[in-house]
Amino acid sequence: MTKPLIPQSDVLLDSIRDVLNHSHKHVAQIVNSTMVQTYWQIGHLIVENEQQGLSRAEYGKGTLKALSLSLTKEFGKGFDVTNLRKMRSLFLYFPIRDSLRLELSWTHYRILTRIENNKTRQWYMQESIEQSWSARALERQVGTLYYERLLASQADNKAIKPVLDEAKQNTDALSVSAKNYLRDPYIFDFLGLPTDSLQENELEQGLIDNLKKFLLELGKGFAFVERQQRITTEDGDYYIDLVFYNFHLKCFLLIDLKMHKLTHQDVGQMDMYVRMYEEKKRRNDDNPTIGLILCTENNKTVAKYSVLNESEHLFASKYITELPSEEELRLQLEKDRRLILEQQGKYEY
């Protein structure tokens, strides 16, 4: 049977469409690049003028307001005092123009200039580029202390310092290990589900319905494989809640959702799942499978006296469905880290 011929007009239309889409993308990149560099130059001029004897307070109260009124009248929106301050910060935080990464938009830079510590800001900047984060994605990751949680989850094998100090000082590339790709807690604020009556199947369905946001929360390199994946044994069938694959670690991630505080039964169940997956599902070119138990509350006793304590492939993390304030989250991270170090007899008061 011969294939039907594609009308030449359709081929022509597709070709023109590809050219236009590429052109629109190219134009958008040029506009974005020009905007970022223009705002950097404006910031440079503001700082130069500010350094001519005016105090910052005096400058902020008077000159920026007058400048904003004049620029808005002549050039339209985009030159309010807040934006002018962001332009000023753009120059101060990126004093060398070549350090600007033009893959990022002005909206990305507005978010980055909220981060005072240079090393932390550079980390978020690099992740935004490598992971192609939208400005909205970057804002969420900064707001949920993504970097700080990533470091706090490694509290048992890093220097003994408060999480905030470590976040400011640590800029080394994270080593490629399972521990460095997982964090605690996970924040599922995007679900919009009531926590008091939430059922496990509702939580699972909510994560699937918001898969793109869930993948963003999981971190870099994760791809969804299957929900309720079945493993058949001689004694019956077993079902794993969620299965992902990480292309950086080159391994599968099994997730078991729990609506309670972590128990030793949960650990035993996940240990069994990982062992079965290793035997029945893992390919020869895959690295060892990772098991992650997501629970409403961790359990330091279970963590200390179970296989979780020494395992490089079994982990447990807390999840929350409502976003706390930034200060509440910082305090919780420090509390969790202190518990881990106290458990090891390493915490310094």
203-231: pLDDT as tens digits: 999 999 999 999 999 988 899 999 999 99
Q: Which candidate, 83, 82, 104, 85, places its Cα nearest to that of 37? A: 104
**CB-based contact 166:149 (threshold 8 Å):** no
Q: Closest Cα partner for 228 from 214, 209, 242?
A: 242
Coil, strand, or helix at residue 277? helix
Q: Which of 112, 131, 161 is where one domain is finished?
A: 112
- pTM for this entry: 0.67
> Which 8-state DSSP code applies to residue 245?
E
Range of the domain at 305: 180-325
Query: For each of the chain's 349 residues, which pLDDT tens digit applies?
Result: 455 555 566 777 777 787 777 777 666 668 788 889 999 999 999 888 876 655 454 555 577 888 889 999 888 888 898 999 999 999 999 998 888 888 899 999 999 999 988 889 999 999 999 888 989 889 989 988 888 888 776 655 444 344 445 444 443 333 456 777 888 889 898 888 766 677 888 899 999 999 999 999 998 889 999 999 999 988 889 999 999 999 888 999 999 999 999 999 999 999 999 999 999 999 888 999 999 999 988 888 888 888 888 788 899 998 988 877 777 777 777 776 666 566 555 445 4
Residue 57 is predicted with a pLDDT of 47
Q: Are residues 94 and 205 in the same domain?
A: no
For residue 169, tell me if it sits in a domain.
no
Q: Which of 170, 153, 193, 75 is nearest to 316 (CA)?
A: 153
What's the CATH number where 208 sits?
Answer: 3.40.1350.10
Q: Rounded CA gap, 323 and 330, in Å?
A: 12
Q: Are residues 106 and 184 in the same domain?
A: no
Structurally, the chain folds into a number of domains equal to 2
Q: What is the pLDDT of residue 341?
A: 61
Euclidean distance between CA atoms 138 and 146, whole angstroms: 10
Residue 20, domain member (yes or no): yes
Of 88, 112, 136, the position where a domain reaches its end is 112
In tens, the pLDDT along 44-89 reads 998 888 766 554 545 555 778 888 899 998 888 888 989 999 999 9
Q: How many residues does the chain have?
A: 349
pLDDT at 236: 86
- 161 in a domain, yes or no? no
Strands 222-233 and 236-246: antiparallel
- Is 2 inside any structural domain? no
- The answer to whether the CB of 191 falls within 8 A of the CB of 210 is yes
For residue 261, give the amino acid letter: K
Q: Which of 85, 112, 139 is the last residue of a domain?
A: 112
Together in a domain, 103 and 200: no
Confidence (pLDDT) at 344:
54
Judged by DSSP in three states, 238 sits in strand
Q: Is 220 domain-assigned? A: yes
Taking the C-alpha atoms of residue 277 and residue 283, their distance in angstroms, rounded to an integer, is 10
DSSP bridge partners of 230: 239
